[in-house]
Amino acid sequence: MKEGNKRNSFGGSLGFVLAAAGSAVGLGNIWRFPYLAAKDGGGIFLVVYIILAITFGFTLLTTEIAIGRKTKQSPLTAYSKLKKGWGFLGVISCLVPVIIMPYYCVIGGWVVKYLVTFMTGQVESAAGDEYFFGFITQDVQPIVFMVIFLVIVAFIVFRGVNKGIESSSRIIMPVLLLMIIGISVFSLTIKSTDASGAARNGLEGFGVYIIPDISGMTLRGFVTVFIDALGQLFFSLSVAMGIMVAYGSYVRDDANLVKSINQIEIFDTVVAFLAGAMIVPAVYVFMGTEGMSSGPSLMFISLPKVFKAMGPVGVVVGCVFFAMVLFAALTSAVSVMEAVVSSFMDKFKMSRLKAGIIEGVIALVGGIIVCLGYNKLYFEVKLPNGAIAQILDIMDYVSNNILMPIVAFGTCILIGWVVKPKTVIDEVEKSGFRMGRKILYVIMIKIVAPALLLVLLASTFFPT
């Protein structure tokens, strides 16, 4: 039968866990988590993040996966099927990945460019101060690499749930994990002496990463750490963007959701931690604590300088690193595209190929506009949080800082107060598996999570 008539499902729990974890393990884990950990007192951020992951993150992750499996629908149609009159939440939920996909492909293209650069031995060039900005401000090259990345993602999505998403995740995720572990171990062994004679080593950098730094910590400072960790969970767990609803709809009714959700949480948290263990010590050894910077600056400016400082081995480490980042970016982009493609399939009863082509064109046009935002369409605007932004930043702000908290808040109200938490609990337990943290779930979905989401949403409208 055609996929549009009979919904596909993951072949097994492992396939679902790897696909969901692949979605969660993306660029947000690799460049944003280490930066926030270094900025927010190391171990303090880690502790706050882990506590939020097993409470707040667990609640949202469980809810979205359960909604998907119960309704057997993608985000665009799942909410209206769960409760009539709540379809607007599905529309917003589907809009998030539509906005994210174009700029994610642009950043994915940047990763492809750097992988090619390191594979051809151009470490010296990549470490130059103007290399990154010289590349992204070009008219054609960023678009070419964006298209390459988009084509790879589209190919996987076109192949479907089993042959595409599940099969690729079974290969990519174990390799990605091995790469991260390998680079993390290597980062702990390196050492360097700077021009002033100060010696630093990887273990000292690891200490900066994991040992709580409470010097000068104020109440306002702790609130900043809390908000950063809360916001990072959206990046890390891929919640509030329709992805987990879509993936949940492909989970078989006899699957153990409790076990799968726990495994996704553990996998994502471990990878996020290892990303910090991989990046913070290396940057600390060669650039000190001041080498840590936000977003693309860390990935595409600071780290190439670190790889150059490593000498000949830096070429190999750089190749492995950017290959690993590419794998992480691909699994996440596949999930983002699938959330939209499955929504089009369910809502408009179209084939996977047609839905994929439509979303591919949207992503292509949007990606070109984002690329041109660094040259022909360049402008600057000040966001409510005080940041100076151009096209990519605006899209990221709207999707991640505004729409995602709104989706998550609406989901909490729908489950916590309208259809009641029992709806999700019964779905999780219907295969005979007892749901752990049940009382915690009820308290979180009804009271704590909505309150935290309002705080998070409010924080996006004030300068940091």
CA distances from 196 to 192, 193, 200, 282, 343 (A): 11, 8, 12, 19, 58
Residue 464's nearest CA partner among 234, 224, 226 is: 224
Token code pair at residue 78: 């799942």
Asked whether the predicted pLDDT for residue 450 surpasses 90, the reply is: yes
Reduced 3-state DSSP string for 211-230: CCCCCCCCHHHHHHHHHHHH
Cβ atoms of 64 and 245 within 8 Å: the answer is yes
pLDDT category, 295, cuts 50, 70, 90?
low
Asked whether the predicted pLDDT for residue 322 surpasses 90, the reply is: yes
Q: What is the pLDDT of residues 114-142, one digit of tens each?
A: 999 999 999 999 999 899 999 999 999 99
pLDDT value of position 4: 40
Amino acid identity, residue 250? Y
Residue 377's nearest CA partner among 142, 55, 109 is: 142
Q: What is the pLDDT of residues 401-444, one digit of tens each?
A: 999 999 999 999 999 999 999 999 999 999 888 998 999 999 99
Cβ atoms of 404 and 237 within 8 Å: the answer is no
Amino acid identity, residue 131? Y
Backbone angles phi, psi at 238, to 5 degrees: 60, 35
pLDDT value of position 5: 42
Radius of gyration (Cα) for the chain, nearest Å? Answer: 21
- Is 0.75 topped by the overall pTM? yes
pLDDT value of position 464: 60
pLDDT value of position 3: 41
CATH topology of domain 13-459: Hydantoin permease (1.10.4160)
Residue 27's nearest CA partner among 307, 451, 464, 400 is: 400
Residue 314 CB: number of other CB atoms within 10 A? 23
Q: What is the pLDDT of residues 176-190, one digit of tens each?
A: 999 999 999 999 999
Residue with tokens 């980062």: 187
